Amino acid sequence: IILYQGAVNIGRGLEQAILSMKFIDNAKLVIAGDGDIKPELEKLVEKQNLKNKVEFTGRLPLEELTELTIKADLGLSIEEDLGLNYRFALTNKLFDYIQVQVPVLVTNLPGMVAIVNQYKIGEITSSLEPEKLSEKIKDSLFNIEKRETWQENLKIAAKELTWENEEKVLVEIYSRFLD
């Protein structure tokens, strides 16, 4: 299972992810979420004859989304560089994947690259061209050596990248102003 969770909007790399499925066997892309472009993505799936490889779940209750995320083999956070908001984003989905120890594929955007490089928990793609993206996805799914390393590193990342740890940093910063 290749999972995308979140807003189904422009700039999330979803069109390219769908088209990349033409080149990938033995996997399914699951898009969990809703948004502006969902109807046109559903038409794209139909037109490209990919209904057996792409599934839309719509919005899911948090418990169901967590259950789905745990089952995923790869989490996508492949936003396009459409401006500063996207360029410097650290998406919630990235941390959701990390917390349930699912390897990730992210675009070459600074915040996400820093996390993936620091913890060695997945792949980075510099291209969203469907054929090139499919190669990154296949390598991420089927390179056993990389996956074993990522699984070990995801345990560490999941322990370190938590709100509880961030909360301590924030309390320390703000405590200087409250005394």
Q: Nearest-CA neighbor of 3 among 79, 63, 56, 59?
A: 56
Give the pLDDT confidence score for residue 88 in this predicted structure: 86
- The CB density around residue 45, as the number of other CB atoms within 10 Å, is 21
Most distant CA atoms of the chain, gap in Å: 63
Cα–Cα distance for residue pair 7/143, rounded to 1 Å: 29
Q: Token pair for residue 93?
A: 């989905």
Residues paired with residue 56 on neighbouring β-strands, in sequence order: 31
Better-scored residue on pLDDT, 35 or 86 = 35
- Residues 91, 11, 80, 41: is their CA dihedral positive or negative? positive
Give the pLDDT confidence score for residue 179 in this predicted structure: 64
Evaluate if residue 55 carries a pLDDT over 70: yes
State mean pLDDT over 87-109. Answer: 94
Q: What is the mean pLDDT of the chain?
A: 95
| Per-residue model confidence as pLDDT tens digits over 109-168 | 999 999 999 999 999 999 999 999 999 999 999 999 999 999 999 999 999 988 887 778
Give the pLDDT confidence score for residue 89 in this predicted structure: 84
Region for 154 from its dihedrals, namely left if φ exceeds 0, alpha if ψ lies in -120 to 50, beta otherwise:
alpha
* pTM: predicted TM-score of the whole model, two decimal places: 0.91
